[in-house]
Structure formats: structure tokens, C-alpha cells
Structure 1
Amino acid sequence: MSKKGIEIAGNFVFWIITGLVIVTHYSFYNITVQTVNGHDTFITTKDEAIFTKLLALIGISCVLFYANFTLVLSLIHGKKMGSIILKSLLLFVAANFAFNIFQHHIFGIHQKSVSILLSSGIIIFYFTASITYATGKIWIITESKNQKLELEKTQAELHLLRSQLHPHFLFNVLNNLLSMVNQKENPALAAAFERLSGLLRYVVVDTADEKIPIRKEIEFIRNFAELHALRFEKEELDFQLEVLGTHEMLLIEPAIFIPFIENAFKYGVEPEKISIIKVVFDLTDEHKIKFSCINQIHETMQQLKGSGMGIESSKKRLNLVYPHRHHLEINQNGNFEVLLEIEVGKSNTNE
């Protein structure tokens, strides 16, 4: 059943229960006791006029209930509180006046009447219930709007973070490739362009998806590292990428690991020195990805000024996309170490 259907059913049950309680409790006015064979029997007598008037009172209260509900609910559209309160009180007075006119002038003054205290009490009950109902409805609608706005804000922030992925890296790589153009018969150039093509495809096409298989992320990191390695002599950089397990179709937020790899290359490698970067993806658990990245800390590179926006953006994205489903730990104890665990889903495709 839809939410609207549940609400209508709830209203129907509310009126059935409260109406039955009122008419059965207040329309019996006389109780007599008869003794038959030594046993007392209680006999109640129903006043038809009181019964009819109570039904009419419930009908008037129903009109009051929904008129006042609609009036109070209009607060959500920015109506003035003072005007709403005044109109609401006028509805309350009108309901009491309407019932008194009904029972005295339509039924006549000689029939038994519902007391003013009882009629006012019933009207106050439904009047208060309508205010409570409208207030609850306003709270639910407001909360729903706030959640929608928060979701839109989150999606906008994610879109902004994704749109800022690694433009500086691509620029630097292009400069590196341009410096190789003057070298004759360099087979590395063709391979480098091929890897760059893969990186561009990943950034432009794959990162447009909300989730991608982890194998694409790993392939991007592999190409990323090999292109960065072009700046160094072969013996200067030892980049190790290890993949454990076979769950390569686990779905992950695109480019969530790249800032940590970028950070390792920015501060963990130095020309004319031996540098080691070790990256491990543990995919042995079909519902969890364990990632680690360890690099040396070169004092000379640590003097470089950086904004730290890459890792900070990753932290924000992790909190937005994997709230309470990730654990990030960053340690500096001789080496710079990033440990990240993410609980993820599993792809049903064979991309």
C-alpha cells in the first residue's frame, strides 16, 4: 500500500474508533436493574435524540477537523502564523455555534440535548487532534524536503569533486611526452601514448559512472604509475603493485584511490635517489576492499608546498559515498603509509 493509502486508512480507522466510543458511551442515559431468579440484570436505555445529535456533532467535528487541518498545513507555504491562528479560532467558534443551532432549532428545544460541556469537549478533542495531525504532517514534509536538499547538495559536491580529478596530472604527463618528441626512434613514446589514451578514457568515460569494477581502477593506477616513471631512470624508482584475491568485479567509487598514489609520487620519489612505492589491493573478501600504499619520506620532497586538497577531497568523498562503511588510517613512521578498507557491493556484469 502506498503512503497516501496508509494515511487515508489511518484517518478512516481514527474516525470509526472515536465515533463509536462517543456515540456508545454518551447516548445511553438510563440504567435500570431487574432481578430475575435471584440474578440482577442491568438494562441500558438509548436516547435516540442524543444518539442522532452525537452523530451530527461528529459530522460537524469532521468538517472542523479537515478545515482546520488544511488551514494549519498552509503554514508550510509561508502563510502568516497570526492569520492562521485567528482563522483557526473562528472555525472552532463556528463549529460550536453550528452544533448549538442544529440541536436546538432543528430538533427543537423540548428534546433532550447534549450538554454544552460535552459538545465543547468533543469539539476541542477533534480541534486539537487536527492541529497535531497538521503539525506532524508539516514536520514530515519539511524533513523530507531537507533530506532531498541534503541529497542534492551531496550529489553536487560529489560531481564537483569528480570534475576536479587529476587535471594537473594529465597536464604534467603531456609535458613529459612532449619532451620525448625530439628523441629519435623511441619505442617508449608509442607505449606512453597508449597508456595516456587509457587514462583519458578512464577519466572522461569511466568516472562518469557512479560505480565501476575495481579492475578498472587498478588498471588506471598501473598506467598512471608507468607514465610517472618516465621521469626517472629505471633504477631510481621501484613501483610495486600487488593484487591479492580474484574479486576484480567489486564495485567502487571511481578514482577514490588515485589521490593517495599521486601523493606517493609527489613526496615519496626523488631524482637520483632510489625510491620504493608499494601498493597492495586485497580482494580476497567479496564484500570488502583493502588498500595500502607505502612510500618513503624524502626530506627534500617534503619541503615542497602542497595544498593537500587531493587527500582531503578523498576523505570527503569517502564520508559521502561510504558513511560508516570505510576505515582510513594514515601513518608517518619512517614511511608514509595509507591503509584504507571499504565495504562494497559486487558487480553483476562481466565488463
Structure 2
Amino acid sequence: MKKYLEAIIHVLIWGFAYFLILNYVNTISDFRKDEGPFWLAIFFGMLMNQIIFYATAFFIVPGFLRLKKIPLLIITLISAFVLINLFESVIDYYWLVGFFSSESESYLSYFSYNSISSFFILLLGLSYALIKYWIQSEKLKRVLYEEKLTTEMAFLKAQINPHFLFNVLNSFYAKALKNDVPELADGIAKLAELMRYMVYETNEEKVALEKEIHHLKKFIQVYQLRIAEDDDVFINFAIKGAVENVKISPMLLIPFVENAIKHGIDTKAKSIIDISLEVTQNELSYKVTNTMHQAVYGLKDSASGFGLDNLKKRLSILYPNSYTLETKVEKGYFISLLKLQID
């Protein structure tokens, strides 16, 4: 929503709201209109109503909607509404009107007037927040749909026929076996399996965590073929918890290891990559730690990697408000820590 348009909407909202409120007060109130405290009370009431509106529209409702905690949202709105009206009525009764005017209504009357006008403002703020949230959601859906189309088109343009690649790999595998090079044959078989997973099995919305772990291990094994026996390179992978019957979005684990390999391995120096994955009752914790050997560290955009920004976009789409991603440097190691809320 453009800023000037939003400002105009706010002016119209408050103009309409105060027109109705002032007409309401003039109709049922016994305030003495010829005395200053009446208008002071009206001004103070307007201030309280603005607090109700903006707290509802910009903080309370958007915050709880993002967290999808509707019962807590209702409780918070009711509590804030009651507290603000109690406070406003105390100020009206004991100071603004009660102190300056000899003719004062009961505290209950002030509370009733304030509650009715504030309830109208609360509904306005709630409606504004819900409409704005709906507009933003629809806009995000449209942007994601357009990005998906763009990504699919780019993939189709860049894609080589996978059948051709698999046939070539099968030929290399057969030649490796024929020439009695079992290690090469094993590496080709692992690479083919990894490619088959990436091409054919990652189109689903979610895959079994066991399968994702299996292919992450294949990815590591394929890379280790490039490491000489005398290279001081160590890659460790530890798994804790029950990974069975857990599903996650595909291709979330490999980018972290790819990044660690890219920035954390130097065959001329001792290099360590520690990977740990732990599953608790409702959370998956995935941590990748690597030594640092370059001037630039962390998930970085490149032709071969997802990049931190792209990965964050994926996570925000796939796991909205149910993930944390932290990267930090600690004692010469680069650490990536991902936590996902799982069903």
C-alpha cells in the first residue's frame, strides 16, 4: 500500500470516527458543553482511541496473526480494551471533569460512554488490520507465484535432458567396472543416485527426513572422492533422536554442507566439518560447524549454491514463523544453526 494512500485512509477513518463519536456524545451525554473540561475530556478520549486503534492495527493483531495464536489475540484485545477504558474513565471522573466541574456524572456513566466509543474504534482497528493482512497475503502469494514461474522457466532453459546424463553416467559406471576401478564405479553410482534424487524426488512438498539424510550422506561421500588420503580433512556427521516418520521440505540440509565445504576446506591445512542433526518431540535442530580458511564466510550466492538470502526466502515460504536460522563466527569456526518446528 502506497504511503500517501495509507495516510489518506487514516484521515478518512479518524474524520468519520470522530464525527460519529461527537454526535453520539452530544446525543446522550450530560456534560456541560460550555465548560473547558468537557472539551479537554473529548481531546483526551481521542488520544486514548488513537492508542487503541494503532495498538490494535499495527502491533497486537499483526503480531498474533503471524504467530497464529487467535485465542491469545482475543484475550489480549479484551484485556487491553478494558484496561484502557478503566484508565480513561478514572482520568475523566477524578480529574478532567470531576475536579473542574461541580456537576459530575457517576464513574459508571463515564465508563459506559468510553467503552461504547472505544469499542467502535477497536472494531475499526481490527478491520483495518485484517484487511491489510489479507492484502499483504494476497500480494505475497502473487509474488511467490511469479517467482515460481520464473524459476521453473529458468530451470527448463538451463536443464540438460536428465536421461542423457544418466545414460552417460551408466556408461562411465560400466567402463569403470570393466577396467577394474571399483572406487570410481562406486563414486559414479553415488553421484547418479544423488542426481536422480535431486531431479525426480524433490518435486514433492515434503519428503521423509530419513531420505534427506541418506542423500546428504551420499553428497558427502561424493565429495570425499576428491580428498586424497593424506589430506588433513575430516567430515563428521552425528544424528540424535527419532528421525522416523518425520518429514521436511526437500533440499534444506545440503546447502549448509555445500557452504561448509566451499568455505571450510583447505587441503593445505587442517579442515574440519562437524554436522549434527537432532530431532526432539516437535523440533529439528541442524548445526553445521566448519573451520574458516577464506576471507569471506557464510552462505554466499554463487552459481553452485543456494545462498543465504535464497535459503531464507525458501524458509519464510515453507516454514513461516516456525523456524530460526542463525549464523555466527566463534573461535575460528563458522557455525550455521537451523531450527525447524515439525509436526
TM-score (norm 2): 0.49
Structure richer in strand, relative to its length: 1
TM-score (norm 1): 0.48
| Structure with max Cα Rg | 1
